[in-house]
Amino acid sequence: MSTGRLLIVDDEADFGAFVRRVAQKLDFEVEVTTTAAGFKESYSRFKPTIVVLDIVMPDVDGIELIRWLAAAHCAARVVIISGFDPYYAMAAEKFGDIGGLTSIQRLTKPVSLADLESALTARGPGKA
């Protein structure tokens, strides 16, 4: 049995691949997408237990995705990975809180392997 189902959305496919590697070593089932549409499709079908998303992407507004997740009563844990611009991440976090997302974690790029591993395996209300 897998540790859980991880859905990653990041416009940097290589970063998504890196997270996939780390997650697979931790026995996650992993799907990676680089677009908002792909993310929504995958979310509905794959039903992830944990979502990793980049908040600043050129063609996708991470905050929109957070709101979408909230509207969908997402029960998965959410890990927001952002660059150095803190306001987006903080705003996203706020939106998530308001929308009822129960577990949000914030990581800043570049992410150390240890931090990423602990974020993925952290115990939270999301179904493991």
Q: For residues 40 and 118, what is the distance between their CA atoms, to the nearest angstrom?
A: 26
Smallest separation (angstroms) from other proteins to the CB of 49: 22
- The yes or no reply on residue 111 touching other proteins (CB under 8 A) is yes
14 binding other proteins? (CB under 8 A): yes
Contact between residue 89 and residue 82 where contact means Cβ atoms under 8 Å apart: yes
Site for other proteins in 73-92 (CB under 8 A): 81, 83-86
Binding mask 40-79 for other proteins (x = CB under 8 A): ----------------x-----------------------
Decide: is 19 part of the binding site for other proteins (CB under 8 A). Answer: yes
- What is the rounded CA–CA span in Å between residue 8 and residue 81? 10
Candidate residues 30, 116, 119, 120; the one interacting with other proteins per rule CB under 8 A: 116
Q: With binding defined as CB under 8 A, does residue 103 bind other proteins? A: no
Asked if residue 127 binds other proteins (CB under 8 A), the reply is no
Q: Encoding tokens for residue 25?
A: 């070593």
List the one residue out of 47, 43, 22, 23 whose CA is nearest residue 33.
43
How far are the Cα atoms of 44, 50, 103, 113 from residue 126, in angstroms, in the given order?
Answer: 16, 7, 8, 22
What does DSSP say about strands 4-9 and 50-54: parallel, antiparallel, or unpaired?
A: parallel
Which is closer to other proteins, CB of 50 or CB of 116?
Answer: 116
Q: What is the contact surface with other proteins in residues (CB under 8 A)?
A: 12, 14-15, 18-19, 21-22, 56, 81, 83-86, 108-113, 116
